[in-house]
A = this chain, B = another copy of it.
Amino acid sequence: MQPKLSTRQKRILKFIESFIEEHGYPPTIREIGEAVDIASTSVVNYNLNKLVEYGLLARSPEVSRGLRLVSADQPKEVPLKVADVAHLVQVPLVGKIAASAPVPLPGEDFGYYFDDDDVIDVPQSMLGKHRQGELFALRVTGDSMIDAMVADGDIIVLQRQNVAQNGEMVAVYLTERGETTLKKYYLEGKQVRLQPANPMMDPIYVDADQVNIQGRVLAVLRTLH
């Protein structure tokens, strides 16, 4: 399904690649024609469709610049080589979390304008499904989260949200106790059961209206060095 490409088709592919690199958006049919020295738009169109056949290109019909390069078959890279940059997410490290204090949440400028210093890189594969731009991270201080299997110095990555599904690990602020904690969340009638990650620990029960969900925990990261 992948015969040799004609010279023109190769030039087209190369041009599209470099054009996107330079402009941030794909070229039009006419721009391609000019670059590859094809007089007629229909011929460019013809060759683009060929490239789609070969699985090297994706097109969105009736959409201007509706081109997308399909990641050609990647001959497996050298082991321990760098991975794709697209799989790396930068998460702002907005503060610290401890049992005695509320969770510091990112401000209005969520997702923009944060210092480079307070950003951690996380592979997207570690985060699963999440909403882009609503991630933040906290450094745990103290040993108060031991029942959540979280140690002093750990970093937790959260997605900002105020509600949770049963079974999700969330950061909650208990208004009555004035206390922050990480627990698995289970709504049971008017009460909420907060279950520690450590299976040897007992759950606690609190009224639902005293549970203030700060975010869902996506990952816990611990580095030893």
Contact = CB atoms under 8 A, between A and B. Distances in A.
Interface string A139-157: 0000100100111000000
Most B-side CB within 10 Å, residue of A58, A85, A89, A112:
A112
A21 B216 CA distance: 24
Interface in A198-225: 198-200, 216-225
A109 B14 CA distance: 12
A82 B76 contact: no
The copy count of this chain in the complex is 2
Nearest to A225: B128
B151 A151 contact: no
A215 to B, nearest CB: 12
A66 interface: yes
Interface residues of A, number: 81
Contacts of A28: 64
Given A68-B23, A127-B223, A4 B108 contact: yes
A104 interface: no
Nearest to A126: B223
Given A23-B66, A80-B135, A216-B224, 15 more contacts: A17-B132, A24-B67, A25-B26, A65-B65, A79-B111, A80-B133, A81-B85, A82-B89, A85-B85, A123-B123, A128-B224, A128-B225, A217-B224, A219-B222, A221-B221
